[in-house]
Amino acid sequence: MPRGTRVILVTGGAGFIGSNFVLDWLAAERTPVVNLDKLTYAGNLENLAGLKNDARHTFVKGDINDRALVAKLLREHRPQAVVNFAAESHVDRSIHGPADFVQTNIMGTFSLLEEARAYWSNLKEAEKSDFRFLHASTDEVYGSLGANDPAFTETTPYAPNSPYAASKAASDHLVRSYHHTYGLPVVTTNCSNNYGPYQFPEKLIPLMVVNAAKRKPLPVYGDGKNVRDWLYVGDHCEAVRLALKRGRPGETYNIGGNAEKTNLEVVNALCAILDEIRPQPHITHHSSLITHVQDRPGHDRRYAMDAGKLRSELGWMPREQFDTGLKKTVQWYLDHMAWVDGVVSGAYRSWIDLNYGRRERA
């Protein structure tokens, strides 16, 4: 990456991972960020309220499919890197409405790549060699693992099983092709399930915390034994910073938390934390709120990430243990219920009813 204090362009920087990354970048790197976000339901400027008077942070409301806008931002701010977090990312929503995932994850990534390539092609040679396009992706592109299968590596064949995963797989392939065809210096990261502050409460952990705090049922799909590798969002942000600064162009790096848990284990651990720090009248154990509901279609059984390449090449290891990270996360949501109430709109309540309210109990 170029020396000095040149800006980076972050897309999707008002969402869960993106906003955590912007905050992490400004705290650790201290160089300016231009933040482009469409502010769909999951994007929230309240995530970035602490940067309101920070001159290093420039927010622009816009769509990554707006190529004229992207070109303008590249031309005016001359960033040293583009970091692409912009994505539709919820599997259940992709089942009910896949078109948005195709539009944002595939066409949006294509638009960004085209404008980044045009911008990069006109840089001076030293700037061209230092420029990076980092594309943040998911472990779901690899498909599902059996109980005893080895964890995903960067060479695991792609086998996406949901419209969301398929759209991210397509975007990964586009990014790879722009390096091999045009020489664009790209780096791709594939991460496991993130958790932490500012996650929209449609995802497992915040949904369970919010429901439990309001003594509502805790809906768990099927038998609850689907396994995910859990990664604290702060560890993810650090890994992305390292991959951006020192990752080899054209390479992919898996980012995992080394914390495989079944969904039921996660929910029970969360309930135990709530029993300890937020006991409620008439509820001896929050786990009594757990309700098994009909499984979602095509639900992958197990994901697991081998982050050995990131560890050996860049020296990264997750700092947060799952139990400590989960406790921090639960406490954050309990302390920020006003934030939750602010993002949980009528449209969100309609979505929860669509996805969970009409499922039969398992």
Residues labelled as active-site residues: 139-140, 164
> What length does the chain have?
362
Is 10 within 8 Å of 35 (Cβ atoms)? Answer: yes
Give the Cα separation of 262 and 320 in Å (integer): 18
Question: Can you read off the two tokens belonging to residue 81?
Answer: 């890197």
- Identity of the amino acid at 315: G
- Residue 197 vs residues 35, 48, 233, 343: alpha-carbon distances, Å: 19, 12, 8, 13
Q: Which of 199, 229, 273, 241 lies closest to 43 in space, CA to CA?
A: 199
Question: Which sign, positive or negative, has the C-alpha torsion 97, 145, 309, 121?
Answer: negative
Q: Which of 41, 83, 37 lies closest to 60 in space, CA to CA?
A: 37
Q: What is the 3-state secondary structure (H, E, C) of 211-252?
A: HHHCCCCEEEECCCCCEEEEEEHHHHHHHHHHHHHHCCCCCE
Number of H helices, E strands in the chain: 14, 12
